[in-house]
Amino acid sequence: MSTTVQIRLTPEAQRIAAGLKTMPVRMLTAIARGLDQANFLAVRNIQAKHLTGVGPFPVAEHRLGVRSTRLLGSVVPAPAVVTGQTVTSGIGSNVEYAAIHEFGGVIHRKPRAVTVRLKTDAHGNLVRQAGTAHLAIFARKDNKRVREVKATVGAHDINIPARAPFMTGIKEMKPTYAKEISAALLAAWKQN
């Protein structure tokens, strides 16, 4: 999946671009360099503002908390590519769960059998949660006093809201994109 963000160039860069029927290759290459520089800065913004901290965070903050730094370290810009009169690029991740956090979705879980480890006291009785005598306490892996109970988890769906940390971080950087791409375009124009 992908989405598009439109960048508005500075007025001077817009005048130059509008005056050309076709963009010379050197100017398209310069735009690609500006886009690459802006992407580099946007990746830093996404990592710093949207993929750090201890979550969970409200969906409206467009943030994911750090559990393993795997996603944080996987954010990379795709080098800008010139095809005809178009320059394209992107920012993404190869971590499999990045897309569902970015775009949202539903995870369908099938029914399955599980073994649950419940905490027991020295006499083998289940330890109960304070104030709720009908709820047992799950045992940690290192706990020696446990009772293992077989259970079935029914089929269910998990709704993951779109948090869009990548798109939010890119949109926050739109002024930087405009500045970097416009500067590159103007520099290439002046070399004419």
User: Is it the case that residue 14 has pLDDT exceeding 90?
Assistant: no
pLDDT of residue 111: 96
pLDDT of residue 133: 81
Tokens at residue 131, please? 């104030």
> Which residues, other chains included, contact 129 with Cβ-Cβ below 8 Å and sequence gap of 6+?
135, 136, 137
Q: What is the mean pLDDT of residues 138-151?
A: 91
User: Is it the case that residue 144 has pLDDT exceeding 70?
Assistant: yes
When pLDDT is cut at 50, 70 and 90, the band that residue 170 belongs to is very high
User: Is it the case that residue 22 has pLDDT exceeding 90?
Assistant: no
pLDDT of residue 192: 67
Which one is predicted more confidently, 48 or 25? Answer: 48
What integer best gives the mean pLDDT of the chain? 92
Q: Judging by beta carbons within 10 Å of its beta carbon (0-12, 13-18, 19+), is residue 159 exposed, middle or buried?
A: exposed
pLDDT tens digits, one per residue of 51-107: 999 989 999 999 999 989 999 999 999 999 999 988 999 999 999 999 999 999 999
pLDDT of residue 93: 95
Q: Rounded to two decimals, what is the model's pTM?
A: 0.77
Torsion angles phi and psi, residue 120, rounded to 5: -125, 160
Which of 175, 177, 138, 192 lies closest to 24, judged by CA?
192
Share of the chain above pLDDT 70, in %: 99
pLDDT of residue 34: 96
Neighbours of 98 (CB within 10 A): 19
